[in-house]
């Protein structure tokens, strides 16, 4: 069930990218998609009732959560921030040139 909700979040992001006309809303759509995928990765590694995977004396055989997806998500978040920064910078430059955020008016390239 949770996985379906996560997928629904992904689809909301995709809808936002495809339908919205405002540059910033498109950027938000991409971020929503990215975060839904991050959430998915975290849920893959989650186990109910498990503890953090730190091996100390006495807890060698405890029930650990999978640490790898968490490491992946941290990397993915950092990459996402780099993309977001570049995208927002690009939006600002586009606004300087066209004086609008509306993609139906930003259409000099054709064909």
CB nearer to another protein: pick between 57 and 82? 82
CB 40 within 8 A of CB 13: no
Q: Is 82 in the site for another protein (CB under 8 A)?
A: yes
Cβ of residue 1: shortest distance to another protein, in angstroms? 16
Cβ neighbourhood burial of 2 (10 Å; 0-12, 13-18, 19+): exposed
Q: Is 72 in the site for another protein (CB under 8 A)?
A: yes
Q: To the nearest 10°, the Cα dihedral for 52, 54, 58, 63? A: 40
Q: Is 8 in the site for another protein (CB under 8 A)?
A: no
Q: How many residues does the chain have?
A: 111
Cβ of residue 33: shortest distance to another protein, in angstroms? 5
Tell which positions 34-63 bind another protein, by CB under 8 A: 34, 37, 40-41, 44
The rounded distance, in Å, linking the Cα atoms of 63 and 16 is 40
Q: Is 9 in the site for another protein (CB under 8 A)?
A: no
Which two tokens mark 63? 């029930």
Cβ of residue 65: shortest distance to another protein, in angstroms? 13
């Amino acid at each position: 069930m949770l996985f379906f909700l996560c997928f629904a979040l992904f689809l909301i992001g995709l809808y936002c990218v495809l339908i919205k006309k405002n540059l910033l809303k498109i950027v938000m759509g991409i971020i929503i998609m990215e975060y839904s995928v991050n959430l998915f990765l975290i849920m893959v590694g989650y186990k109910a009732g498990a503890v953090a995977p730190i091996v100390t004396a006495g807890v060698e055989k405890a029930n650990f959560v999978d640490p790898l997806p968490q490491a992946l998500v941290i990397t993915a978040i950092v990459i996402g921030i780099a993309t977001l920064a570049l995208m927002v910078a690009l939006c600002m430059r586009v606004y300087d040139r066209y004086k609008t955020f509306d993609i139906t008016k930003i259409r000099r390239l054709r064909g």
